[in-house]
């Protein structure tokens, strides 16, 4: 479903350095030296073709030892492999790369860039002028978190996503594998709560509501998903909701953090925790679901607390609850 690279990218080969782009080579990629026999693949760094190979595997292996290099197909000028950061933007003859989607989208929106590519410069991830479909509803097998995982909405939602892409793994296995923050709950002498950080790992007991527990946020879930589908999992945390809808419109289900009411919560529902790695603001109503579609003002979700798929919730109310929880979202590409 991801579109092929646009013509400009086909004819240009470019590399960047830490967000500062500069030209590395122009249209005549195959013609680095007219005195040499042209092989199938070139390893390029800067303006220089360093090495040529007929074996793609050998080209990639050697490119991995050369910082900021690109393996180019000499017949098509397409990038076959690169060790640039995963989110790539073109600005005329230059390319900028970023390590997170939120940094890339911020730069794109502030520099009138229409397209973001993901890895190897051949897959379009986002387009500024993309027109979403009027409606979509994905058929994703529904999994309930109960009875095994009373606090396991995050890994149960991830199990639905991974199963959709053909990964044979269950929620209990994911519950065991997800990173944990084992910090013990304390109330300090000054009355402050000291506990784990959900950005670092699952906090508390996932298996029983009779003991203390909370949940986990996007980072550890992204890491766990990437263990199963390396290179295909994209953490789009920090995107705006219209950008999330674009992914959904393209046919990608979305793992997202919300709350159990699917509406904005008052401040009284939140509390501050002090953790080993910083201060976090949490709500005990935190919940995670899979976005499966939309139609008009309705958003369809696979809710691990529900008994059936494609539960209907108000789209704009959900948007507010999702934004309140920090714009946390993960997508898996084809």
Q: What is the mean pLDDT of the chain?
A: 90
pLDDT per residue as tens digits for the range 221-233: 999 999 999 999 9
Return the structure tokens found at 7: 């013509």
> Whole-angstrom Cα distance, residue 41 to residue 77?
9
Residue listed under structure tokens 């830490």: 18
Percent pLDDT > 70 in the chain is: 88
Please state the separation of Cα 303 from the chain's center in Å: 20
| H or E stretch at 110 | helix 101-110
Return d(Cα 263, Cα 324) in angstroms, integer.
9
Contact of 63 with 81, CB cutoff 8 Å: yes
For residue 88, the surrounding DSSP H or E stretch is strand 87-91
Residue 193 near residue 185, CB atoms below 8 Å: yes
| Tens-digit pLDDT profile for residues 88-128 | 998 876 778 999 999 999 999 999 999 999 987 778 999 99
Give the per-residue pLDDT at 37. 59
User: What is the structure's pLDDT at 301?
Assistant: 99
Task: Give the C-alpha separation, 172 to 207, whole Å.
Answer: 10
Q: What are the residues facing 21 on neighbouring strands? A: 16
**Is the predicted pLDDT of residue 28 greater than 60, yes or no?**
no
Query: Measured between alpha carbons, how far is 222 from 218 in angstroms, rounded to an integer?
Result: 6
From CA 159, how far away is CA 262, in angstroms rounded? 21
Give the integer Cα–Cα distance in Å for 23 and 7.
Answer: 17
Over range 255-276, report the average pLDDT.
99
**Does the CA dihedral 275-280-285-287 come out positive or negative?**
negative
10, pLDDT greater than 50: no
Whether residue 12 is predicted with pLDDT greater than 50 in this model: the reply is no
Q: What is the pLDDT of residue 32?
A: 36
Tens digit of pLDDT for each residue in 179-202?
A: 999 999 999 999 999 999 999 999
Q: Which domains does the chain have, with CATH numbers?
A: 7-127 (no CATH), 136-332 (3.90.70.10)
The pLDDT tens digits for 121-179 are 778 999 999 999 999 999 999 999 999 999 999 999 999 999 999 999 999 999 999 99
pLDDT score at 20: 38
Q: Output the pLDDT for position 232.
A: 95
pLDDT range class, residue 47, cuts 50, 70, 90? low
In the prediction, which pLDDT does 94 show?
Answer: 77
Q: What is the mean pLDDT of residues 209-218?
A: 98
Q: At what angle do helices 153-164 and 218-228 cross, to 10 degrees?
A: 30
Q: Is residue 203 a contact partner of residue 195, using CB atoms and an 8 Å limit?
A: yes
Query: What number is the average pLDDT over the span 256-273?
Result: 99
The CB density around residue 20, as the number of other CB atoms within 10 Å, is 8
Helix (H, G, I), strand (E, B) or coil at 104: helix
- Angle among Cα 322, 272, 256 to the nearest 5 degrees reads 20
182 vs 272: CA distance, rounded Å = 18
Burial of 299: CB neighbours in 10 Å, binned 0-12, 13-18, 19+: buried
- The DSSP secondary-structure symbol of 265 reads P
pLDDT in tens, 291-318: 999 999 999 999 999 999 999 999 999 9
Task: Please tell me whether residue 136 adopts helix, strand or coil conformation.
Answer: strand
In this prediction, residue 171 carries a pLDDT of 99
> What pLDDT, on a 0 to 100 scale, did the predictor assign at position 46?
64
- CA-only gyration radius of the chain, Å: 23
Query: Looking at residue 240, what is its pLDDT?
Result: 96
- pLDDT > 90: percent of the chain: 81
Is residue 19 very low, low, confident or very high in pLDDT (cuts 50, 70, 90)?
very low
263 confidence band (pLDDT: 50, 70, 90): very high
Q: How many CB atoms lie within 10 A of CB 261?
A: 15
Q: Please say if the pLDDT value at position 1 is more than 90.
A: no
H or E stretch at 116: strand 115-118
């Amino acid at each position: 479903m991801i579109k092929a690279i646009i013509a400009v990218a086909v004819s240009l080969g470019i590399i960047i350095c830490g967000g500062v782009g500069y030209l590395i080579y122009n249209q005549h990629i195959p013609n680095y030296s007219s005195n040499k026999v042209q092989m199938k693949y070139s390893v390029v760094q800067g303006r220089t073709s360093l090495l040529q190979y007929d074996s793609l595997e050998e080209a990639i292996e050697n490119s991995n030892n050369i910082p900021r290099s690109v393996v180019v197909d000499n017949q098509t000028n397409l990038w076959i492999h690169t060790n640039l950061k995963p989110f790539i933007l073109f600005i005329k003859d230059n390319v900028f790369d970023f390590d997170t989607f939120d940094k890339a989208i911020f730069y794109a929106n502030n520099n009138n860039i229409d397209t973001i590519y993901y890895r190897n410069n051949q897959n379009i991830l986002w387009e500024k002028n993309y027109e979403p479909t009027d409606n979509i509803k994905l058929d994703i097998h529904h999994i309930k978190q109960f009875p095994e995982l009373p606090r396991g909405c995050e890994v149960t939602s991830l199990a639905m996503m991974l199963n959709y892409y053909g990964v044979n793994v269950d929620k209990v296995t994911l519950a065991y594998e997800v990173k944990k923050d084992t910090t013990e709950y304390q109330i300090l002498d000054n009355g402050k709560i000291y506990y784990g950080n959900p950005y670092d790992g699952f906090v508390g007991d996932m298996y029983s509501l009779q003991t203390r527990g909370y949940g986990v946020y996007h980072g550890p879930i992204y890491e766990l998903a990437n263990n199963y589908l390396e290179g295909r999992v994209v953490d789009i945390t920090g995107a705006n909701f219209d950008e999330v809808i674009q992914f959904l419109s393209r046919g990608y289900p979305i793992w997202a953090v919300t709350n159990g009411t699917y509406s904005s919560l008052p401040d009284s529902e939140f509390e501050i925790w002090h953790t080993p790695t910083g201060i976090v603001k949490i709500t005990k109503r935190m919940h995670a679901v899979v976005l499966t579609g939309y139609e008009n003002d309705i958003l369809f979700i696979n809710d691990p607390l529900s008994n059936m798929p494609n539960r209907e919730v108000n789209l704009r109310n959900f948007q507010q609850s999702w934004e309140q929880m920090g714009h946390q979202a993960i997508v898996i590409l084809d």
